[in-house]
C-alpha cells in the first residue's frame, strides 16, 4: 500500500512539473521568433530564411525576425543559438558547413552539434555549381584540369566556407586539378570575388548564383548533384565530366537549442512543413535551383548522423584534420 501510494505521489508530482511546459507549448508563440542566419546577407541561407520567414510569420501570427550573425565560418551564429534559452524563440537556419564540416576541420568548436542543438526540419537541398570567371579560357571541366596543369599554381579557388573548401580538396584529390584555395567570409563574398575576377573558380550555391550565371557574370562548368539541375539542363554534372561518382550539395536545416520542449519543436516543424508545401514557394525556390524538403525532426536527426559519417570518411581520404 505504501509503495502504491508513493507511486501515485510521484506520478502527480511529475504531472505537475510538466504543466508549465505544456502550457508554454500551447501558448507558443506569444512573441516574435528570431531566426539566426550564421552568414552575411545575400547568400543562399539568407535568401531561404527570408522567403520562409515571411510565410512563417503569417502562419504563426507573430513576427519572424531574420538576424544575420556571420563570423568564424558560421559557427558564431550557431553557437549563439546553442547557448540561447530553449524556448523556441531563438532558432537557427544553417547548413552542412556548420553542423557537419566544422567538427571535422576545427579542433576547438564552441558547441557540439549532436548535443547542443535540437533538429526541427531540413528545409531545403541544392547542388553546387562549379563556376568560373568568364575570363578563364577553359570551357569544360577536363579543359580546366588541363589548363591548371599547364599553369601550375595560377588557378585560384574561392572557398566561401569550410564545406566548399573540403569539397575542393576532395575534387583536387580525385581529379588531379591544380587549384590554390583562397578563403572568403561566406558564400556571397566568394561569389562576389568570382564575379569581380579576383579568383578563377568557385563552388557556388545555385540559389545565390543562378541570376549571375544566367546574366553571364560567371560561367557554370558543371554541377555537383546526382543528375543535371533542372534550371541548368545544358550543364553536365561533375560525374559526367570525368569525375565518376562525385556527388555533393548543400542542405539547409532549422534547429533549436537542445532542451526545447518537444511540443514546441513539433509546432515549429508542422508550421514550417505547411509553408514549404505551398506551391508558390516550392516553385519560387525550384526556379532558383533549390528543392524544398520539410521532413520530420526524427528524420532530420537521423540524416545528420549519417551525413557526419559520410563526410568524416571524405575528410580522412583527403587527409584533412582538425586545426
CATH of the domain at 266: 3.40.190.150
Cell 522567403 belongs to residue = 51
pLDDT of 318 above 80:
no
At 66, is the pLDDT very low, low, confident or very high (cuts 50, 70, 90)? Answer: very high
Q: Which of 34, 82, 316, 96 is nearest to 224 (CA)?
A: 96
Burial of 13 (0-12, 13-18, 19+ CB in 10 A): exposed
Give percent above pLDDT 90 in the chain: 64
SS3 34: strand
Q: Clarify whether residues 193 and 219 are in a common domain.
A: yes
Q: What is the pLDDT of residues 118-171, one digit of tens each?
A: 999 999 988 899 999 999 999 999 999 999 999 999 999 999 877 788 888 888
State residue 5's pLDDT score: 54
What is the pLDDT at residue 314? 81
Say if 198 falls within a structural domain. yes
Same domain, residue pair 182 and 41: no
pLDDT at 19: 45
**131: which strand partners?**
202, 220
Q: Taking each helix axis from N to C terminus, what angle separates 2-27 and 262-276, rounded to the nearest 10 degrees?
A: 30
Whether residue 27 lies inside any domain: the answer is no
Are 136 and 100 in a shared domain?
no
Considering the domain boundaries, does residue 171 fall inside one?
A: yes
Bridge partner list, 130: 203, 222
Dihedral of alpha carbons 287, 189, 310, 238, sign = positive
116, 170: one domain: no
Domain that holds residue 202: 128-223
| pLDDT of 8 | 55
Count structural domains, the chain. 2
More confident residue, 153 or 11: 153
The answer on 276 and 310 residing in a single domain is yes
- How is the chain split among helix, strand and coil, in percent rounded to 5? 50, 20, 35
Average pLDDT of the chain to the nearest whole number: 89
Considering the domain boundaries, does residue 166 fall inside one?
yes
**Is 24 part of a structural domain of the chain?**
no
Sequence-separated (6 or more) residues with CB below 8 Å from residue 76: 38, 69, 70
How much is the pLDDT for 12?
A: 53
> Quick one: pLDDT at residue 17?
47
Does residue 309 share a domain with residue 167?
A: no
Please tell me the distance from the alpha carbon of residue 51 to that of residue 304, in angstroms, as a whole number.
Answer: 24
Same domain (yes/no): 133, 178: yes
Give the residues across from 146 on adjacent strands: none
Specify the residue for cell string 537542445. 258
Asked if residue 151 and residue 113 are part of one domain, the reply reads no
Question: How far, in Å, CA of 237 to CA of 228, rounded?
Answer: 6
Question: CB atoms < 10 A from the CB of 55, how many?
Answer: 18
Question: What's the length of the chain?
Answer: 323
pTM value? 0.78
| Residue 57 included in any domain | yes
27-63 pLDDT, tens digit per residue, is: 899 999 999 999 989 878 899 999 999 999 999 999 9
Residues 132 and 207 in one domain: yes
Instruction: Please tell me whether residues 258 and 119 are part of one structural domain.
Output: yes
How many percent of the chain have pLDDT more than 70? 92
Among 13-27, 190-204, 285-299, the minimum mean pLDDT is found in: 13-27
> What's 137's domain CATH number?
3.40.190.10
Q: Are residues 154 and 219 in the same domain?
A: yes
The pLDDT of residue 4 = 54
My answer on whether 121 and 132 are in the same domain is: no
| 141 within a domain of the structure (yes/no) | yes
Q: What is the pLDDT of residues 248-306, one digit of tens each?
A: 888 999 999 999 999 999 999 999 999 999 999 999 888 878 889 999 999 999 999 99
Residue 180 has phi, psi (to 5 degrees) of: -105, 120
Asked if residue 40 is part of any domain, the answer here is yes
**Which band of pLDDT confidence, cut at 50, 70 and 90, is reported for residue 10?**
very low
Point out the domain boundary residue: 188, 223, 258: 223
Amino acid at each position: 500500500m505504501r509503495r502504491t501510494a508513493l507511486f501515485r505521489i510521484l506520478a502527480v508530482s511529475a504531472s505537475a512539473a510538466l504543466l508549465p511546459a505544456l502550457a508554454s507549448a500551447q501558448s507558443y508563440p506569444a512573441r516574435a521568433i528570431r531566426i539566426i542566419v550564421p552568414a552575411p546577407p545575400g547568400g543562399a541561407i539568407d535568401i531561404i530564411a527570408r522567403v520562409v520567414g515571411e510565410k512563417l510569420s503569417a502562419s504563426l501570427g507573430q513576427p519572424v525576425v531574420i538576424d544575420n550573425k556571420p563570423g568564424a565560418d558560421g559557427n558564431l551564429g550557431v553557437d549563439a543559438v546553442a547557448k540561447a534559452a530553449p524556448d523556441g524563440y531563438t532558432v537557427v537556419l544553417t547548413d552542412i558547413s556548420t553542423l557537419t564540416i566544422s567538427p571535422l576541420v576545427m579542433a576547438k568548436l564552441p558547441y557540439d552539434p549532436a548535443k547542443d542543438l535540437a533538429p526541427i526540419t531540413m528545409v531545403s537541398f541544392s547542388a553546387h555549381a562549379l563556376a568560373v570567371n568568364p575570363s578563364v579560357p577553359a570551357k569544360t571541366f577536363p579543359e580546366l584540369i588541363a589548363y591548371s596543369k599547364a599553369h601550375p599554381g595560377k588557378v585560384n579557388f574561392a572557398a566561401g566556407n569550410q564545406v566548399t573548401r573540403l569539397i575542393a580538396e576532395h575534387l583536387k584529390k580525385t581529379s588531379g586539378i591544380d587549384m590554390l584555395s583562397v578563403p572568403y567570409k561566406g558564400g556571397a563574398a566568394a561569389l562576389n570575388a568570382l564575379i569581380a575576377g579576383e579568383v578563377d573558380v568557385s563552388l557556388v550555391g545555385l540559389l545565390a548564383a543562378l541570376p549571375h550565371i544566367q546574366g553571364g557574370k560567371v560561367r557554370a562548368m558543371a554541377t555537383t548533384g546526382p543528375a543535371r539541375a533542372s534550371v541548368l539542363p545544358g550543364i553536365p554534372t561533375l560525374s559526367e565530366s570525368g569525375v565518376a561518382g562525385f556527388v555533393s550539395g548543400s542542405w539547409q536545416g532549422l534547429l533549436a537549442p537542445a532542451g526545447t520542449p518537444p511540443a514546441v519543436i513539433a509546432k515549429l516543424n508542422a508550421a514550417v512543413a505547411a509553408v514549404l508545401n505551398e506551391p508558390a514557394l516550392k516553385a519560387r525556390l525550384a526556379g532558383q535551383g533549390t528543392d524544398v524538403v520539410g521532413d520530420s525532426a526524427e528524420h532530420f536527426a537521423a540524416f545528420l548522423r549519417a551525413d557526419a559519417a559520410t563526410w568524416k570518411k571524405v575528410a580522412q581520404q583527403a587527409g584533412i584534420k582538425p586545426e
